[in-house]
Structure 1
Amino acid sequence: MYERADNTVFSTIFLIVAQTKLQKLRLIHLDYTTNQIAWPIQSTLEQMTIGDCSYHQYRIILCNSLGLRTLVIGDCIIDNIDPTVSSYALTTFDSTGEKLNNITTLDSLLLPFQSPFWLNNKKWFATCDYLTLITVDLSRNEIGDIGAQYLAATLQNHQTLTNLDLSYNRIGNNGMQYLNDAFKENKTLIKLNLKHNLGSYCIIVSASIQIRNDKAITKLNLMTNKISDTGVQYLADALQNNKVLTILELSYNQIGNNGMQYLSDTLKENKTLLELNLKGNPGSYCTIVSAAIQIRNDKTLTILKLSMNQIGHIGTKYLSDLLQTNQMITMMDLSGNHIGDTGAQHLANALQNNITFTELNLWHNEISHIGVQYLADMLRNNTAITSIDLSKNQIRDSGAKYLGDALQNNKTLTKLILDSYYYDDDHADKKTNIISDIGAQFLADALQ
């Protein structure tokens, strides 16, 4: 490694490069006030880092380094552009110091990618068309939406680029849309770094690229990223055909019910995702959508705990439909979810002929004698359920009669909980289970 050096030191360096088998060289500073440098043609350099240089110096080095695969430039001073130099010879191109604030300077970087200079003039490659471009680093520049559009159009069909770093630029949501649309069909790009740009969809567009193309990723954490319903559409589209992702963390974002619907519709045919965490989002269907994914795809799931999640009867209907085809779950806790009589009806329909379900907790769900009748009818036929908790609901003597009649034919149920949970005068007016001697008689007759 050499800091800023005079011509004598450079001459020594170049002599070493020319006469040895040096493969890696790092020059912190070149004197870019002097464009003319003597660079040896015969060198074995494969990797080189330049702290700063002029575009002319960059061209001389590249033209005369036939084995170079990696070139890192910290600050390339571009004044007059010469489009004859191609960057196809690079494996990694890092221009962390270049200021790319308009199409002209982007042109200087991107048009050379397609130049026939190396193939036609230098005739470098005998066994392949060109060495592959894998990484482009354009971070910490001033690229805006127009630059992103140009970049997207140029690289959208690139077949070898796997990493594109555009972090710390000035790309807004329009630019994010250009990038997303351009790379939607690209199957090669794995990592698109858009951190610290102006657009609010940076994280989403980056994640969508990775979900589509990274065949090794099984877990993705996107919690607390202010992802909205609009942003989650990008994710939903990318997840549609994903076959490797098993865990997706989206908790504590800003996803509402519209976003939940996008995810639910898209993931209906997905058989790979096992866990989708939507906790802490404003949408009321978070728990249901997460549970639906788990019920459909997790073949080891036997216990489903969903207590105190405000599921309601609509969410219960969604769960019930899934339970009709599930033969793995044996226990479900829906306590404190306000499912009401309608929710009880949905569950009763789903469990009518289920042979694996053994335990159901419906504590504190505002179920009256109407809902109990649906459950009682289900118990007449079900031969698997051994325990039902109906405590702290709104069951009266008529509900007890329905249960008593059902139990006369049911020989499987071993535990039935009908506790009211309120023992003091302060809660005497609450509408919880109130079963009198008459209701107790109905139950007693069934137990004889």
Structure 2
Amino acid sequence: MRANLQKLYMCHIDYMEEHMPWSDQCSLEHLSIGNCVYSKYLLILRQLPKLRTLVMQNCIMNEKNKAVVLPTPTIYCSLESLTIDSYLCTPEQLKLILSPISSLCRLRLVSIFDLSEPVFHRSYWEQLDYGQMLKIDRFEFFFSYNNNHINRKFIDFDFLIDSFRTPFWLNEKQWFVSWAYVPILNEIWLYTVPNPIIDQRSALRFEISSMGNTSRLTERPLNRMIDHALDQTLTTLVLLQKDIRDAHVQYIAIGLKNNTTLITMDLSHNAIRDVGAQDLANALRNNTALITLNLSYNAIGDVGAQHLSDALRYNKTLAILSLNCNLIGALGTQHFSDALRTNNSLTTLDIGSDCSKNANNTIGNVGAQHLSGALQNNKTLTTLNLNYSRIDSVGAQHLADGLRNNVALTTLHFDGNSIEDLGAQYFADALKTNTTLVTLNLEWNGIENTGAQHLANALQHNKTLTSLNLYGNKIRKAGAQHLADALRNNTTLTTLNLGGNLIGDSGARHLADALTINTTLTSLNLSANKIETAGTQHLADALIENTTLTTLYLEWNEFGNAGAKRLGDALGANKALTTLIFQMNKLGHVGSEYLAHGLRNNITLTTMILYFNRIGNTGAKHLADALRINKTLTTLNLRANDIGETGAQYLAAALRVNKALTTLNLDTNDIGTTGVQYIADALWDNRTLTSLNMSNNSIKANGAQYLADALRKNTTLTTLVLDSNKIEDIGAKHFADALRYNTTVEALNIFLLNGISSDVQKELKRQDNRIE
């Protein structure tokens, strides 16, 4: 060892039993080593008299499995700064480490292992030798503790943080300590503030400081002091699909309890059960800021529902509570109903379910009866979701009774129940007197013509309902006729969804006749209704006269070429329609020619959805020719239409001159490398397209290069989706290179099904987070 050496770094070398030949004249001032046994630590202090700074991984106090028992060591006065990077010592062991040093000014302790758990208990800090600590000017520490283990015991951090609120910590030494829960990592931190030790610069966390009781949601770098102004900006926490369990929720609840800035928290799609719901409920009793809480897709049952409903009796700010797809039954619904009788803040309650889930809320008729009573008294709830809740006509009667006297509810989601015609009658009777409901969703309820007639009769009298959804019922032409008759007189309904019924050509004719008179309906869904050529012709004739309908859904019907021709003619004359949904109608290239002809003259349509219509290259040419002339269409969806490289060439030529189109979807065609070159070349000149989807087109690496080259010059495209194109690593790298020069692309989707290795994905994501 050279005598004149001043700094020595041996961070990865442990100093255990071997002897290091320190020179008697050694002038070393800074030493960094790995793990060091206590006896060698003392040797370092004795043989390096000029040492000012010592950094070690850990000081091992248990040599050869035998505890070190030493008399009070000799005092060494040179060391000023001591850092232990993997600190695992007890308070007694720390006392032994500090005892030989009388000149220590700075102590830094770090541990990021689960073995640091003892420091998260108040008893640890009560056992410190504060006589030793009094001599230290700067004490900095950072400890982390992972909470993923299923058997972790809860740590009372209110109790812990109090130990740092004594005059010694706050006034005499001014060492400020914070506890934090980091939900993304599911870690608990304990650290001094500011903290220059750890490079965890912006982890989102709930933080409680020894300087106050308020919990802050913050991303503040650890090396900065608390900044209340900065923390005020964080109002939303999204933790969906993070495998959050009850053991994790208890720490989120601590952070939520006294937080004054968080207004939206999403904990959906996790594994929270009744215990976790109880912890959140306890926090909600005191919280005065949270407005929206999403707990959908968890496993909260009636007990958890009781805890949450009890909290609603005290909480005055929560407005939106979502519990969709949990395990809540009639009893849990009763608890919420009781709370709604007195709660004056909740405006939205979602306790419905999803037809695709096996584990669902089962409100049933009994639960509906409880809610009915609440609706008669509550004056603030505006939205109630009871989708797929196993309620039949009996439950519908209870809810309808509640709606008769309710003065607040504006939206009722009631899809996927089994109310049938009788239940529809109960709701219809309620609509005759109700003056607040504006949206009623009754999808998939087994309603037939008689039920449609009852609802139609109600529409003759009702003056408030603006949206009625009857998708997926069993309404035929007679039911459509009743609804059409209502549309002749109704002056408030703006949205009618009759998709997935069986109205056929005759039903379409009745509705078309009504459209020539009605002046309020703006959206009509007639998808999947077995409408053929004759029905299409009636609707087309209505579009020529109607001046208010802006959105028309006609997918999954069979119009034929003659029907498409009439619709095309209507498009040329119509002055109101802005959105036409026309997917899966077997248009072919002939039908697309008729629609394209209408598009040439249309001056209002902005969105046309034509996916899966088999228009082919010829159909693409017809639409491309129309795009050269049309000045209003902004969105065109041609997904799955058998368009090849020739069709792509036609569309590319149109993009060079079109000044309106902003979104083009060519997903699942057969464009290939040559076809994508045409599109890429057009992007060099196009100045309006912002979103392009060319997924599943076999463009491969060469096609990726063409598009990447275009991105170097294009200044308008913000979203490019290219999943499932076999571009592989080389194609991905072409895009990465291009994005160095492009500042307008916001999202580039290439990672899905493209043969890109995980290493390349990680590297590209590190370089540019726009690549997904």
Normalised TM-score (structure 1):
0.48
Choose between structure 1 and 2 for higher RCO, CA contacts under 8 A separated by at least 6 residues: 1
Normalised TM-score (structure 2):
0.30
